[in-house]
């Protein structure tokens, strides 16, 4: 094993009486300086040559700087025979395991957490002067948090800490609160929180995050309001709770109140705008973020690209793409997939396909996004060719792939192909058909005018149909004037979604196509009697990089007089 060190005089080679006389003094001098990793490595190399143990002080420095728990344990094992009573040596090694366990989610993280707990138990059995301190305890508790199923171990560690008088320190208390949050025991976390006399901002943040994780936003707000000191993490934790709850308005209010913001704060504000469907506001907040000199990160761009896709603004999509090209965000497969999806939903399937071709390391998601894009833009046969290319590359299709493939068949009227791919899911790829796959098949039959086949599929499918499936059947009945089956589909839809105005409108239109005007009026009276109002139609149009929104009968647009005047003129010309 080769070791290199930095700085300091090297030890003389082991030769004779001179070595026996000089070595203790040189060792003492080098060991005194071995509090840095470089000096500790030099000392370790020299001692290994002579078969001598590593002093505890140098071992602690090496373990603290180690990025590998295996290396940390090797250093510990070489030093512990002569320093078994050194609490810092035990604590540094347990902390090394805890660092690794907290930094990744691989099986090695679980193994590291288990090793830390085992070493802690060994420390207790050894007894002597190496009694655990607050730092030892917090590292062990962090490992119990990683082992989310380790409820017994967590309770045992907490019991020991209570007896040792270590549970009331803010450092250990925060770790205990987090542990109970991870194992789903918010009430126990609150008991620990209440027992900590000198609560700091870390303890408060951990308790807020615990309640947010448990879905109790009201309790999180109560803790937040009672905190003497708050930092951006405090605000972000509470905002994330309201965002999960779908209360975007409160997220906006908290964001405006924040005295100090960070990138995560801006990300949540952009997410809040997207959550409530304010796509243009999401883009505006992103621009404000850049003006405030904050550097967007990968999560920022993911949320922003989703907002742009929903907004449908091609010019904004190009701006986002340009920022990604100039910025320092890695253009990995995930980012490129989001870009492809954004361009496709903004209407530029050509640009989406160019990006897809440029993506060298394509995964299943890459193909899924492109297949769905081609399907929704009416390029059904191209989508099926891409599916064949995907399987030819050895990539395994998933349930989302087949949603795109079946949608492509439906839009292209390829009934035979659709039936083939639907059956091949289970036979060739061991993928169980979901309700959404059945809905695609109903849509496929419905678009082709095969209403009886679509209804038979609904009647014989192995699970209970959902609203989307009945909606696809009702829409097909409206299109092909199949009133009787349409009534059945509408009745089932109203049972599932009694307050959805779209169902009543679709049924009324179906009845109108069948000239059943009395029933049309009955449906409209039913809507009025239940207080169900038809939602106004809404459309967007982009002019000179500005997206304009229009509602039916809406006169709020600043140019509405001019717009309606031109529309009236066009109508007269057409008449």
Q: Does residue 475 lie in a domain region?
A: no
Domain termination residue (choose one: 20, 47, 80): 80
Contact present, 119 and 93 (Cβ < 8 Å):
yes
Q: Does residue 489 lie in a domain region?
A: no
Q: How confident is the model at residue 1 (pLDDT cuts 50, 70, 90)?
A: very low
Is the pLDDT higher at 436 or at 134?
Answer: 436
Q: Does residue 383 lie in a domain region?
A: no
Identify the helix (H) or strand (E) that includes residue 551.
strand 546-551
Q: Does residue 537 lie in a domain region?
A: no
Residues 6 or more apart in contact with residue 480 via CB below 8 angstroms? 446, 449, 451
Q: Does residue 47 lie in a domain region?
A: yes
pLDDT value at residue 545: 61
Token pair for 516: 């059943």
Residue-number span of the structural domain to which 548 is assigned = 543-570
Domain termination residue (choose one: 43, 62, 80): 80
pTM flag (> 0.75): no
Domain termination residue (choose one: 80, 114, 137): 80
Taking the C-alpha atoms of residue 411 and residue 434, their distance in angstroms, rounded to an integer, is: 20
Is the pLDDT higher at 525 or at 367?
Answer: 367
Number of domains within the chain: 2
Q: What is the mean pLDDT of residues 316-321?
A: 89
In the block, which residue shows the tokens 């609203």? 467
pLDDT digits (tens, 9 = 90+) for 161-207: 878 777 677 888 888 898 888 888 899 999 989 988 888 999 999 99
pLDDT value at residue 196: 86
Q: Does residue 401 lie in a domain region?
A: no
Is the pLDDT higher at 330 or at 389?
Answer: 389
pLDDT digits (tens, 9 = 90+) for 427-467: 999 999 999 999 999 999 999 999 999 999 999 999 999 99
Question: Does position 41 have pLDDT exceeding 80, yes or no?
Answer: no
Q: Does residue 252 lie in a domain region?
A: no
Return the bridge partners of 550, or none. Answer: 539
Q: Does residue 561 lie in a domain region?
A: yes
Is the pLDDT higher at 52 or at 212?
Answer: 212
Q: How confident is the model at residue 220 (pLDDT cuts 50, 70, 90)?
A: very high
Residue 118's alpha-carbon distances to 9, 157, 166, in angstroms, are 39, 12, 19
**Portion of the chain with pLDDT greater than 70, in percent:** 87
Question: Does position 47 have pLDDT exceeding 70, yes or no?
Answer: no
pLDDT value at residue 31: 46
Q: What is the mean pLDDT of residues 62-79?
A: 83
pLDDT value at residue 443: 96
Taking the C-alpha atoms of residue 313 and residue 305, their distance in angstroms, rounded to an integer, is: 11
Residues 6 or more apart in contact with residue 494 via CB below 8 angstroms? 500, 503, 504
Is the pLDDT higher at 233 or at 163?
Answer: 233
Mean pLDDT rounded to a whole number for the chain: 84
Is the pLDDT higher at 17 or at 459?
Answer: 459
Identify the helix (H) or strand (E) that includes residue 43.
helix 37-50
Lowest model confidence (mean pLDDT) among 67-81, 262-276, 429-443, 551-565: 551-565
């Amino acid at each position: 094993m080769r070791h290199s060190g930095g700085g300091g005089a090297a030890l003389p080679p082991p030769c004779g009486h001179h070595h026996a006389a000089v070595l203790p003094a040189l060792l003492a001098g080098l060991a005194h300086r071995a509090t840095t990793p470089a000096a500790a490595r030099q000392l370790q190399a020299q001692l290994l040559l002579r078969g001598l143990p590593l002093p505890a002080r140098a071992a602690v420095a090496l373990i603290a700087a180690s990025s590998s728990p295996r290396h940390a344990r090797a250093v510990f094992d070489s030093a512990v025979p002569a320093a078994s009573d050194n609490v810092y040596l035990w604590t540094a090694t347990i902390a090394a395991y805890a660092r690794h366990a907290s930094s990744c989610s691989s099986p090695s993280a679980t193994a590291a957490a288990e090793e830390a707990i085992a070493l802690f138990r060994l420390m207790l059995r050894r007894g002597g002067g190496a009694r655990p301190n607050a730092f030892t305890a917090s590292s062990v508790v962090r490992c119990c948090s990683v082992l989310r199923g380790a409820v017994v171990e967590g309770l045992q560690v907490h019991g020991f800490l209570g007896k040792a008088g270590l549970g009331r320190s803010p450092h250990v208390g925060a770790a205990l609160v987090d542990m109970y949050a991870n194992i789903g025991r918010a009430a126990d976390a609150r008991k620990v929180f209440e027992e900590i006399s000198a609560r700091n901002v870390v303890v408060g943040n951990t308790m807020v995050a615990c309640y947010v994780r448990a879905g109790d936003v009201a309790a999180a707000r109560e803790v937040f309001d009672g905190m003497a000191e708050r930092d951006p993490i405090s605000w972000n934790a509470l905002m994330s709770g309201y965002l999960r709850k779908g209360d975007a308005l409160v997220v906006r209010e908290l964001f405006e109140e924040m005295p100090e913001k960070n990138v995560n704060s801006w990300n949540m504000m952009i997410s809040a705008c997207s959550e409530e469907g304010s796509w243009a506001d999401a883009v505006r907040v992103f621009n404000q973020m850049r003006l405030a000199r904050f550097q967007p990160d990968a999560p920022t761009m993911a949320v922003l690209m989703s907002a742009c896709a929903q907004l449908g603004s091609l010019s904004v999509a190009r701006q986002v793409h340009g920022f990604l090209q100039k910025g320092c965000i890695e253009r990995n497969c995930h980012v490129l997939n989001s870009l492809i999806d954004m361009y496709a939903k903004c209407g530029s399937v050509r640009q989406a396909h160019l990006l897809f071709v440029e993506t060298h390391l394509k995964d299943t998601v890459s193909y899924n996004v492109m297949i769905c894009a081609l399907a929704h833009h009416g390029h059904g046969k191209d989508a099926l060719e891409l599916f064949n290319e995907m399987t030819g590359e050895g990539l395994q299709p998933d349930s989302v792939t087949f949603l795109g493939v079946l949608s492509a068949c439906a839009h292209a009227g390829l009934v035979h192909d659709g039936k083939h791919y639907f059956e091949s899911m289970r036979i060739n790829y061991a993928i169980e058909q979901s309700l959404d796959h059945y809905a695609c098949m109903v849509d496929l039959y419905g678009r082709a005018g095969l209403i009886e086949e679509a209804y038979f599929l609904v009647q014989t499918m192995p699970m209970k149909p959902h609203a989307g499936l009945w909606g696809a059947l009702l829409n097909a009945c409206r299109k092909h004037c199949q009133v009787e089956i349409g009534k059945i589909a509408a009745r089932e839809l109203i049972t599932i979604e009694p307050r959805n105005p779209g169902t009543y409108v679709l049924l009324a239109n179906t009845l109108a196509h069948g000239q059943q005007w009395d029933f049309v009026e009955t449906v409209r009276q039913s809507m009025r009697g239940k207080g169900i109002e038809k939602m106004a139609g809404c459309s967007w149009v982009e002019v000179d990089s500005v997206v304009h929104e229009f509602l039916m009968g809406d006169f709020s647009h600043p140019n509405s007089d001019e717009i309606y005047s031109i529309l009236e003129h066009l109508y007269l010309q057409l008449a």
